[in-house]
């Protein structure tokens, strides 16, 4: 496979990413199969990266034949139970193949017609993730601490959980609240989830726990997709102190039909500094980034400084705005948002793929360092959790693409615009989280504080961010 | 025999005939402020009073001097005295100055409190002490049979005896919720830490720690000194659970706690919260065991053991958070040192570096190469057997830019043969960073190119890995 420069609208060499150039380095064709077997793992890893990126380039450019060859080569080296890079390559390869197949909708649908997704398996895989990695636990600890601090002195607390699948978080909170000096508050938890069974399980565990500790407790299940959430169904009463917990949920609301946005291009003219833009603008303009992408072959944003600090690069999303507005309307005392700390919402495939490589590379590394290779739980988490996310990021577009992770700075902008004020997370919460990590025994995990938010890292690579917000009225 | 203390003229309280009171005045005459002294060290200016056992245990210590009627309390005596219609002068309690602080010694000569230096400041206190230590235990709890000499102790015990029981997975039983919660948070952590230190199983007796918290229940900080619970306080936990006194060393885990903020309410809530996040997360299809968080954490280290293993077994077999540990099962895999298996992140960085060194078009043009060209020879990387390409060392050594450049210059024909021990095709020699560096001529070339930085790319050449690595830098954004 030779490196080539193609000036196509979507990406191949267009980005200035060094990884792209890496993928363009020529390979000598002398790759007989016996030699492949002898490759050491690093070389194989590098080769896999090379293959993945060049294959992605082909997919992005639409040259199916080359993509086919690339996938074939990758499949000879990748494996879901090999070393880290092999596993990553396996899932990325699958995602790319998925993407290619979508161009043949008949075949795609036929292949996926008999897929049965079982609720129990979903629950199980989530539990595995919770157990194997401390990320969720850390997010819970930090969230709970923020809620407890915000709810000091409150007699009635109403918590809205945007994804009530893991009762452990609330069990911990219930226990903490019952030990409160002024006694436990009257607690209501409204859990939102798409699957009724999950909510039932959660309800059971939580009411059990609350009874044990003698706390007045009520669990309201709301079976709904987040984007279709009817705020009325949450039944927030006046006088209640509301807390909202969103753990890895908000990003799915950014999913929108990007094509429409792209077509409606008009020069972005927002000035983010004035407060009165809150909830006033209907943001139908496409971003400067998208505009640029049409003009230039380069899908990347220009110089680093302008990109990170300029507010103009906030892709708009009507769904997100209306959702945030609805939440804002509940006047929550505290809203804690935990999200993946990586930009997987780039408009081009290559952008997303490269970012995802780094992000999931780190996640897979984390699993590799902490869980044995043969562990079935690990394989399931990699396949059914990470693999599906990767597939979504790489293979899907438009409304289907739900895993629209974005970096903290974007979330900060978004939430700020929606009328939320940042509440710095307390040092105590950070300490608790650190203590948790200490007891975990593995020193690859780090937590650091950044402008009042907390970022969970694996070996210096930031993976998840947690930030806390309040409803800002009359400020 | 009574002796009047020199400065108090008609000091009548509590000292009248019929009782054998010996007052030993210590020293001075200054009015003593009522201040609290350090425990164990009475006020040096206080008056030391030594009472005989009979007097001590006498119920009516306060005697009216007029009619010799005895009262249990001084206030009652005063009330009674009013009834005698005393003339004005005698009416007041004649000690005009503030009553000197009194400290009491225990009459039992073998007792440590017999020494005036260890006198106790409170009469009631000394009475209780005397009963508890040297008296007969007349009160018995009918639930558990524990005996007490002081009735108030007995009553206090009766209130909590057997009322609520908390049981930790390690087998320790608690009657108090706070101590239970605190213990549970650290039980497994301590077990693992101690077994990590000692590397053994059978740490269960160490697990049977009694984590006492102070009576006001929420301060975790007080965990750090459990052994101070000597007979002083009435906290019965220690005796009740009959566990061995734990050396303070076991609380080594808690140094961070000592610095925990003053709001003790939240500190204990924090503890319970974080331990219960792990405490009860293991559920689903299992019977809901109140398993501790370490169990959950230890799932990572278990390959195939079913989740329904009894907790005790889990603790001992998985002690030490054997993620990197030695408890048999996964040791071979975790014994992996970091070097040979490169992490995906490191691989990606490396790939980025290699890509970056090849990417600079001006450089390449300068050497008659271009990235786009598919001309065979000048390729930077060849996955060809037999060509030893020294691209970069694994550790992202800053010189690797220069080395990579060398390759661009000299092409695949340059073999740093002697320097490369094995043939690894990409020259990925771990730990041999910087070997085979270009010598003078090339580095001159290299430095001459610094001036021709194009778009910042050239920085890559002499820069560290971090300047190249894209994914992590903030430069990359939408």
Please indicate, yes or no, whether residues B189 and B103 belong to a single structural domain of this protein.
no
Does B129 map to a domain?
yes
Q: What is the average pLDDT score of chain A?
A: 82
3-state helix, strand, coil in chain A (%, to 5): 55, 15, 35
Look at B100 and A108; give whichever has higher pLDDT.
Answer: A108
Please indicate, yes or no, whether residues B138 and B185 belong to a single structural domain of this protein.
no
CA distance B355 to chain A (A): 4
Structural Rg of chain B based on CA atoms: 40
Look at A224 and B106; give whichever has higher pLDDT.
Answer: A224
Nearest to A463, CA basis, from A389, A378, A384: A389
User: How large a percentage of chain A has pLDDT more than 70?
Assistant: 81
- Whether residue A43 and residue B426 make contact (CB cut-off 8 A), yes or no, is yes
Burial tier of A230 (Cβ tally within 10 Å: 0-12, 13-18, 19+):
exposed
Does B77 map to a domain?
yes
Instruction: Kindly report the number of other CB atoms within 10 A of residue A253's CB atom.
Output: 22
Contacts with A47 from chain B: Cβ below 8 Å: 383
CA distance A323 to chain B (A): 23
CA distance A31 to chain B (A): 8
Residues A448 and A434: beta-carbon distance below 8 Å:
no
Round to whole Å and give the CA distance between A88 and A342.
Answer: 17
- Whether residue B379 and residue A287 make contact (CB cut-off 8 A), yes or no, is no
Nearest to A99, CA basis, from A132, A139, A55, A34: A55
Residues B253 and B189: beta-carbon distance below 8 Å:
yes
Does B61 map to a domain?
yes
Which tokens hold the place of A446? 């780090």
Please indicate, yes or no, whether residues B128 and B177 belong to a single structural domain of this protein.
no
Q: How many domains does chain B have?
A: 2
Select the residue of A39, A134, A181 nearest B218 (Cβ to Cβ). Answer: A181
CA distance B5 to chain A (A): 50
Look at A183 and A172; give whichever has higher pLDDT.
Answer: A172
For residue A344, pLDDT beyond 70 = yes
Round to whole Å and give the CA distance between A90 and A123.
Answer: 24
Contacts with B256 from chain A: Cβ below 8 Å: 431, 434-435, 438
- Whether residue B340 and residue A369 make contact (CB cut-off 8 A), yes or no, is no
Does B231 map to a domain?
no
Report the complex ipTM: 0.76
CA distance A105 to chain B (A): 30
Round to whole Å and give the CA distance between A358 and A407.
Answer: 14
For residue A66, pLDDT beyond 50 = yes
| Contact partners, residue B110, CB within 8 Å, separation at least 6 | none
Phi–psi pair at A433, nearest 5 degrees: -65, -40
Burial tier of A279 (Cβ tally within 10 Å: 0-12, 13-18, 19+):
middle
Round to whole Å and give the CA distance between B369 and B353.
Answer: 18
Cβ-Cβ contacts under 8 Å between A and B: the total is 301
Residue linked to tokens 């997919």: A59
Which tokens hold the place of A136? 């969720």
pLDDT of residue B74: 85
- Which residues 109-138 in chain A show a CB within 8 A of chain B? 123-124, 127, 130-132, 134, 137
Bridge partners (DSSP) of residue B174 are B166
Does B94 map to a domain?
no
End-to-end Cα spacing for chain B? 98
pLDDT of residue A475: 57
Identity of the highest mean pLDDT range in A117-131, A411-425, B163-177:
A411-425
Four-residue CA torsion sign, B242, B247, B248, B249? negative
DSSP 3-state assignment of B244?
coil
Look at A99 and A43; give whichever has higher pLDDT.
Answer: A99
Contacts with B269 from chain A: Cβ below 8 Å: 148, 175-177, 179-180
pLDDT of residue A32: 47
Bridge partners (DSSP) of residue A446 are A457
Helix (H) or strand (E) run with residue B459 in it: helix B459-462
Please indicate, yes or no, whether residues B137 and B188 belong to a single structural domain of this protein.
no
For residue A173, pLDDT beyond 50 = yes
Residues A233 and A222: beta-carbon distance below 8 Å:
yes
Instruction: Give the domain extent around B187.
Output: 162-193
Select the residue of A22, A88, A149 nearest B354 (Cβ to Cβ). Answer: A22
Please indicate, yes or no, whether residues B112 and B170 belong to a single structural domain of this protein.
no
pLDDT tens digits, chain B, 478 residues: what are they?
Answer: 444 444 433 444 444 443 343 444 333 333 444 455 555 566 677 777 777 777 777 767 788 888 888 888 888 888 888 888 877 666 555 555 556 677 888 888 888 888 877 788 777 888 888 888 888 888 888 877 788 888 888 888 887 776 667 777 777 777 777 777 877 777 665 555 555 555 443 433 333 333 333 344 444 333 434 444 444 444 444 444 444 444 443 333 344 434 334 444 444 444 445 455 554 444 434 344 444 444 443 444 444 444 444 444 333 333 333 333 333 344 344 444 444 567 888 888 888 888 877 765 544 344 343 334 333 343 334 443 333 434 433 333 444 333 333 333 333 333 333 343 444 444 444 444 333 444 444 444 434 444 444 444 434 344 443 444 444 444 444 4
pLDDT of residue A422: 92
Please indicate, yes or no, whether residues B68 and B146 belong to a single structural domain of this protein.
yes
Contacts with B345 from chain A: Cβ below 8 Å: 358, 361-362, 365, 459, 461
Which tokens hold the place of A141? 């600890």
Contacts with B301 from chain A: Cβ below 8 Å: 372
Within an 8 Å CB–CB cutoff, is residue A268 touching chain B? no
CA distance A54 to chain B (A): 12
Phi–psi pair at A461, nearest 5 degrees: -100, 120
Does B24 map to a domain?
no
Average pLDDT over residues A327-344: 93
- Whether residue A313 and residue B477 make contact (CB cut-off 8 A), yes or no, is yes
Least confident of A344-358, A423-437, B151-165: B151-165
- Of 3.40.50.720, 1.20.1440.230, 3.40.50.150, 3.60.21.10, the CATH number of A134-255+312-345+403-474 is 3.40.50.150
- Ordered by start, the domain boundaries in chain A are 2-119+272-305+348-400, 134-255+312-345+403-474
- Whether residue B424 and residue A43 make contact (CB cut-off 8 A), yes or no, is yes
For residue A85, pLDDT beyond 70 = yes
Select the residue of B267, B281, B470 nearest A19 (Cβ to Cβ). Answer: B470
B102-105 and B47-51: which strand pairing?
parallel
Round to whole Å and give the CA distance between A96 and A48.
Answer: 14
Which spans in A214-263 are helix H?
258-263
- Whether residue A43 and residue B379 make contact (CB cut-off 8 A), yes or no, is no
Round to whole Å and give the CA distance between A202 and A217.
Answer: 13
């Amino acid at each position: 496979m030779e490196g080539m420069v193609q000036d196509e609208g979507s990406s191949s060499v267009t980005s200035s990413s060094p990884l792209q150039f890496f993928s363009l380095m020529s390979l000598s064709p002398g790759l007989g199969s016996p030699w492949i077997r002898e490759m050491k793992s690093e070389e194989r890893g590098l080769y896999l990266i090379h293959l993945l990126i060049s294959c992605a380039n082909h997919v992005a450019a639409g040259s199916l034949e080359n993509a086919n060859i690339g996938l074939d080569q990758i499949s000879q080296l990748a494996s879901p139970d090999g070393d880290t890079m092999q596993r990553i390559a396996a899932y990325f390869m699958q995602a790319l193949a998925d993407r290619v197949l979508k161009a043949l909708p008949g075949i795609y649908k036929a292949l996926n017609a008999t897929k049965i997704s079982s609720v129990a398996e979903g629950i199980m895989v989530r539990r595995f993730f919770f157990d194997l990695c401390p990320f969720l636990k850390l997010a819970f600890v930090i969230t709970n601490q923020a809620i407890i601090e915000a709810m000091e002195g409150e007699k009635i607390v109403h918590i809205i959980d945007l994804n009530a699948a893991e009762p452990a978080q609330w069990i911990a909170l219930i226990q903490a609240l019952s030990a409160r000096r002024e006694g436990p508050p009257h607690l209501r938890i409204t859990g939102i989830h798409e699957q009724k069974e999950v909510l039932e399980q959660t309800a059971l565990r939580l009411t059990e726990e609350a009874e044990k500790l003698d706390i007045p407790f009520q669990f309201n299940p709301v079976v709904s997709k987040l984007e279709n959430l009817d705020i009325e169904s949450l039944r927030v009463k006046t006088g209640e102190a509301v807390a909202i917990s969103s753990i890895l949920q908000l990003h799915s609301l950014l999913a929108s039909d990007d094509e429409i946005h792209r077509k409606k291009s008009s020069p972005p003219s927002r000035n983010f500094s004035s407060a009165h833009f809150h909830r006033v603008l209907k943001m139908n303009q496409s971003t400067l980034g998208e505009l640029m992408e049409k003009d230039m072959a380069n899908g990347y944003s220009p110089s680093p400084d302008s990109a990170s600090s300029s507010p103009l690069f906030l892709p708009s999303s009507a769904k997100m705005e209306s959702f945030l507005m609805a939440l804002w309307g509940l006047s929550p005392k505290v809203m804690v948002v935990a999200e993946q700390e990586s930009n997987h919402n780039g408009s081009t495939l290559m952008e997303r793929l490269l970012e995802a490589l780094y992000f999931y590379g780190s996640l897979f590394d984390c699993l590799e360092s902490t869980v044995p290779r043969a562990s079935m739980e690990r394989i399931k988490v990699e396949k059914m959790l990470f693999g599906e996310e990767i597939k979504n990021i790489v293979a899907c577009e438009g409304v289907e693409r739900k895993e629209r992770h974005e970096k903290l700075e974007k979330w900060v902008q978004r939430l700020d615009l929606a009328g939320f004020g940042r509440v710095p997370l307390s040092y105590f919460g950070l300490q608790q989280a650190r203590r948790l990590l200490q007891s975990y025994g593995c020193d690859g995990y780090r937590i650091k504080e950044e402008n009042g938010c907390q970022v969970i890292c694996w070996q210096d690579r930031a993976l998840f961010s947690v930030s806390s917000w309040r409803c800002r009225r009359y400020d | 025999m009574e002796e009047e203390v020199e400065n108090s003229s008609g000091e009548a309280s509590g000292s009248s005939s019929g009782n054998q009171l010996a007052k030993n005045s210590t020293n001075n005459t200054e009015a003593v402020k009522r201040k609290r002294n350090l425990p164990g060290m009475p006020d040096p200016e206080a008056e030391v009073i030594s009472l005989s056992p009979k007097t001590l245990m006498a119920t009516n210590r306060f005697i009216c001097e007029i009619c010799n009627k005895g009262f249990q309390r001084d206030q009652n005596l005063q009330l009674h005295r009013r009834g005698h219609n005393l003339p004005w002068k005698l009416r007041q309690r004649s000690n005009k100055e503030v009553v000197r602080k009194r400290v009491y010694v225990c009459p039992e000569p073998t007792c440590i409190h017999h020494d005036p230096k260890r006198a106790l400041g409170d009469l009631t206190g000394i009475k209780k002490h005397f009963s508890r230590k040297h008296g007969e235990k007349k009160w018995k709890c009918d639930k558990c049979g524990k005996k007490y000499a002081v009735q108030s102790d007995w009553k206090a015990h009766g209130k909590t005896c057997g009322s609520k029981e908390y049981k930790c997975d390690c087998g320790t039983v608690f009657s108090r919720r706070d101590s239970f919660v605190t213990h549970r948070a650290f039980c497994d952590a301590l077990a693992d830490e101690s077994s990590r230190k000692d590397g053994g199983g059978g740490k269960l007796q160490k697990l049977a720690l009694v984590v006492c918290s102070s009576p006001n229940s929420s301060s975790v900080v007080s965990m750090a000194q459990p052994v101070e619970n000597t007979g002083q306080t009435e906290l019965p936990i220690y005796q009740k659970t009959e566990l061995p006194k734990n050396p303070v060393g076991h609380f080594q885990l808690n140094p961070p706690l000592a610095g925990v903020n003053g709001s003790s309410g939240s500190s204990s809530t924090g503890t319970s919260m974080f331990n219960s996040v792990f405490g009860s997360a293991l559920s689903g299809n299992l019977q809901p065991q109140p398993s501790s968080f370490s169990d959950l954490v230890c799932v990572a280290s278990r390959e195939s053991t079913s989740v329904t293993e009894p907790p005790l077994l889990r603790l001992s077999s998985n002690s030490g958070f054997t993620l990197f540990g030695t408890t048999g099962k996964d040791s071979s895999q975790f014994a992996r040192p970091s070097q040979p298996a490169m992490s995906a992140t490191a691989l990606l960085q490396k790939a980025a570096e290699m890509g970056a060194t090849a990417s600079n078009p001006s450089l390449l043009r300068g050497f008659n190469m271009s990235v786009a060209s598919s001309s065979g020879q000048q390729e930077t990387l060849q996955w060809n057997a037999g060509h030893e390409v020294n691209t970069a060392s694994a550790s992202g050594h800053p010189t690797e830019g220069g080395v990579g450049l060398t390759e661009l210059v000299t092409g695949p024909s340059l073999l740093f043969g002697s320097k490369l021990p094995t043939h690894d095709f990409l020259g990925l020699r771990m730990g041999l960073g910087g070997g085979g560096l270009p010598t003078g001529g090339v580095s001159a070339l290299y430095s001459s190119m610094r001036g021709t930085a194009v778009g910042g790319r050239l920085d890559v050449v002499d820069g560290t890995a971090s300047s190249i690595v894209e994914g992590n830098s903030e430069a990359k954004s939408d």
